[in-house]
Structure 1
Amino acid sequence: MVSTSRAAFSERATAVARPPAGPVEYRLEGEGRRTVVVFHGGHMRAGLALGEEVFADAGFTVLAPSRPGYGRTPLTTGTTPAGFADATAQLCRILGIERLAAVVGISAGGRTALTMAARHPHLVERIILQSAVGFLPWPDRLTRLGGRAVFNARVEAGTWAIMRSLIRLAPSLGLRLLLRSLSALPSRQVLAGLSTAERTTLAGLFTMMRSGHGFVADMLPVPDCATQVDQPALIIATRHDRSVPFAHAESLASVMPNAELVDSRADSHMIWFGPDYPRIATKIREFLAAG
């Protein structure tokens, strides 16, 4: 069984490259002959690996860049999904990567993955979206206002320091508060469905998150390029996701000509902790092998 929840969470070593578009923090792991690029979601960065075991176990090298405003990638590198898609293509050239088996877009990284597939079809063979933001309006007005208030660059360090303290002192309460924004189900029910190992992993992940300048930028509108993505696509989402409504996945699947929608049974945005993730991991491996 491939699952993020089976290992303790820790930060991994990264490097910084300087393509023409600007500095890009990245992590390159594995010795596979083929490479997948993973665009992380909000509050994440290159050093935090989430759900990547499925690619490593299938024999792929993983290239994970920090998107603009996260980690050591400044907001000025690329700035927009289109600009950062170009920056990532430049990074691939620097690293000697001529072809990507897939680009993977997780949550708020979905728009960047879609944009890269549309702008660089010669480089990108396939696309995998996991709980990904599409091109419907996102987030809702209340979340946008709250996000700008507590995750802007001037206060986000304090916000995450409070969350770290809460998780350390009252882990169940802290996890319930965070899961409330990630699931349409009652947070107590979601937490009860997690194993002890999964709770430990989630707690470790949440205590290492930072928003930098990136999360506020993630909430800006992005030009819709979904109809330009004609590579084979695997779109994975759960109907219980409060952070990114299932309608995003349905909308993308309806306009992308070679897309397959996979309905996860996960209780929250975090599909890697769902009871059917082994089935989804198998689906991902088969999808990549078909390429």
Structure 2
Amino acid sequence: MATGALTLPDGRLLSYAFSTAPPNGPVVLLANSLLSDHTSWDRVVDRLVAHGFRPLRFDQPGHGRSSAPPDLSSTTFSSLADDAAALLAHLGLSRIHAWVGVSMGAATAVYFSARHPGIVNRVVICDTIAASPIRAGVRDVFGERVAVARREGSLNSILEATLDRWFGQAWRAAHPQETARMRESMRTTTVNGFETCCAALQSPEFDLDPLLDKVAAGTEDALLVVGERDADLPVRMQDMRAKIQQGFAQAGKKIDVELKVVKNAGHVCFVDGFEEFCEEVLSFLQK
């Protein structure tokens, strides 16, 4: 495993991990959710490598060893997509086999496909909302959580509440090792990193709807995956699937876009739905 940190044009560090084996394997980029670093994917990486793929991961701003920008309100999904483009250019990757993104990592995949078409062959979009609270006309939970973190001076209570929301207390009690592993991944997030990524999720710019048809123009195939217990996303992502399907039809590509629901899994379905997630994603990547 090769790890490194790219200095971006604005001086920020973007940390990444790139599997050295298999050296000629198809590259699969794994993009994180809010409040976790690239180690959250460790088990998935092992499975991908075992099937001949070469995983690439990076940390969101202020997560892991990536630094947050001085202006914490400046991060958008467009800027996150451009960060990923800079990383691929740094590594000399003009094309990759797939982008697998969960939550904000999935939203970034949609923006990347629109802004940098023709680089990602296949995209896997998992457990993502489609728009910021102001766009969707719903309560701004991100602003509320940032306010709590600033008031408390740490992410401790946010972290534990997020673990409960993602996995539930029963799953945590039954899987203490995985819970501890995810907690350690989450603890690498700084308060500044949390706030800057929440800024992207809160931004009036964040709206996937006008970009979904561009997924077809920018990629060759798409799969949507969602945890069965991830609030109302199994229903909401059906609409997202239909719009991406329509985009492929308009582009003249005969692609059957599917939405796979991972049983008994929550928001980070590659953790509590690991086996089924890997089965669905590997089947798609090996088509």
Q: What TM-score results when the alignment is normalised by the length of structure 1?
A: 0.74
CA contact (8 A) 2:33 2:102 kept: yes
What code does the residue aligned with 1:158 have? S
Tell me the residue number matched to 1:3: none
Residue number among 70, 76, 79 corresponding to 1:83 in the alignment = 79
Counterpart of 2:270, as a letter, is: W
Residue identity opposite 2:238 in structure 1: E
Q: CA deviation at 1:28?
A: 2.7
From 280, 283, 286, the counterpart of 1:286: 283
Query: How far, CA to CA, are the matches of 1:93 and 1:113 in structure 2?
Result: 16
Q: CA deviation at 1:73?
A: 3.3
> 3-state SS of the aligned residue for 1:73?
coil
Find the aligned partners of 1:163 and 1:112 in 2 and give their Cα distance: 23
Task: Give the 5 Å matches for 1:169-184.
Answer: 177-182=161-166
Question: C-alpha separation between the residues in 2 aligned to 1:216 and 1:135?
Answer: 12
Which of 45, 57, 68 lines up with 1:74 in the alignment?
A: 68
Contact 1:105 1:111 in 2 (8 A): yes
Give the Å deviation of 1:195: 3.4
Q: Tell me the TM-score normalised to structure 2 length.
A: 0.75
For residue 171 of structure 1, what is the aligned residue in structure 2? none
Q: 1:87 to 1:197 in 2, by over 3 A?
A: closer
Alpha-carbon contact 1:103-1:117 (below 8 Å) kept: no
Give the match's secondary structure for 1:181. helix
Task: Please state which structure has a larger fraction of its residues in helix.
Answer: 2
Q: Of the candidates 113, 119, 124, which is equivalent to residue 123 of structure 1?
A: 119
Please give the alpha-carbon distance, in whole angstroms, between the structure 2 residues aligned to 1:140 and 1:246: 18
CA offsets 1:108-144 (integer angstroms, 9 cap, x no match): 2221111112222221111112222333746951523
Residue of structure 1 equivalent to 2:250 = none
Structure 1 residue 228 displacement after superposition: 0.9
Give the CA deviation at 1:19. 4.2
Match of residue 27 from structure 1: 16
- CA pair 286-189 structure 1, distance change in 2 beyond 3 A: same
CA RMSD in angstroms, aligned pairs only: 3.2
CA change 1:282–1:146 in 2 (3 A) is same
Counterpart secondary structure, 2:120: coil
CA distance in 1, matches of 2:137, 2:100: 21
Letter in 2 for 1:217: A
Alignment coverage as a number of residue pairs = 259
Deviation at 1:180, TM superposition (A): 3.8
Aligned match of 1:42 in 34, 57, 68? 34
| Partners of 1:94 and 1:279 in 2: CA distance | 33
Percent identity, aligned pairs only, is 20
1:209–1:248 Cα change, 3 Å:
farther
Aligned pair in 2 of structure 1 residues 266, 201: CA closer, same or farther (>3 Å)? farther
For the residue of structure 2 that corresponds to 1:141, the secondary structure is: coil
Matched ranges for 1:161-240 at <5 A: 177-182=161-166, 187-191=168-172, 194-211=174-191, 212=193, 213-220=195-202, 221=204, 222-224=206-208, 225-230=211-216, 231=219, 232-240=221-229
Amino acid at match of 1:226: L
Amino acid at match of 1:75: P
For 2:98, the aligned partner's letter is A
Equivalent residue letter for 2:165? S
What stretches of structure 2 of length at least 5 have no aligned partner?
246-254
8 Å CA contact 2:39, 2:185 repeated in 1: no
Q: Where does residue 233 of structure 2 map in the other structure? A: 245
**Hey, what does 1:5 align to over in structure 2?**
none
CA contact (8 A) 1:157 1:210 kept: no
Q: Aligned AA for 2:48?
A: F
1:256 corresponds to which letter in structure 2?
I
Q: Extract unaligned runs of 5+ from structure 1.
A: 1-11, 165-173
Partners of 2:89 and 2:152 lie apart in 1 by: 34
Q: Distance in 1 between matches of 2:6 and 2:31?
A: 16
229-238 vs 79-88, greater mean Cα deviation: 79-88
Work out the CA distance in 2 between the residues paired with 1:13 and 1:28. 6
CA change 1:25–1:262 in 2 (3 A) is: same
- Match of residue 106 from structure 1: 102
